[in-house]
Amino acid sequence: MGAARARRVSAGRDTAAEARDLLASTFVVDGLDCSVPTAAYAERLRAARVGCVHLTIEDQDDRGGLAPFETVAALLDAPDSRFRIATSAREITWIAAGGGVALVLGRQAADPVGVEHGTLAAYHALGLRITGIAYNLPNRYGGGCLAPDVGLTDDGRALVDEVGRLGMLLDVGGHTGSSARTRASPR
């Protein structure tokens, strides 16, 4: 038994109660979720004190393009929906404080997003705030984790710069290859 835990036990503290207190005072964010944002799911998230979810938009409708955004909008329009799209930290806090669950929309790879003039900005206007470079396999932007030696391409550099210009979050987590990841710093 660790020294700190031994002191708590010897002091007669209820560690389960301490854990509940800590959870009650902590803002919880689900860092990546592809679940359908239904009212029942919102209730489960709020019961677990989750106030914000990074929702993988492409998993909401496999038709691609604007269809996933339309699908999510229709779900959010339901009268019993507690989900709201958040496009800033202030909105995340406001939605959660009102008993809702903030959705931060993201994509795990940039393939369908594109860097052609205005494309990423258009998705940003629809609420997209997070994008990855590649999902496992290499694409026109850079390598995925199954191609770790493939670096960032010229299109990938343009993507990183545009993500930075728009104030978005670039996801360079586990699905992005290590070579692309290390070169993905904004200029």
What is residue 5's predicted lDDT score, i.e. its pLDDT?
55
pLDDT at res. 77 = 92
Q: Which residues form the domain of 179?
A: 112-187
Query: In terms of domains, do 147 and 93 share one?
Result: no
Final residue belonging to a domain, choices 52, 81, 107? 107
Answer whether residue 6 is part of any domain.
no
- Under DSSP, the state recorded for 133 is S
* Res 181: pLDDT: 87
Element (H, E) at 122: helix 119-125
- Find the length of the chain: 187
pLDDT for 81 equals: 92
Residue ranges in the chain whose pLDDT is less than 50: 1
Do 95 and 38 lie in one domain? The reply is: yes
The answer to whether position 21 is within a domain reads no
Number of independent structural domains in the chain: 2
Do 65 and 88 share a domain, yes or no?
A: yes
Q: Do 121 and 163 touch, CB atoms closer than 8 A? A: no
Bridge partners (DSSP) listed for residue 170:
131
Residues 116 and 99 in one domain: no
* Statement to judge: residues 100 and 119 lie in one domain: no
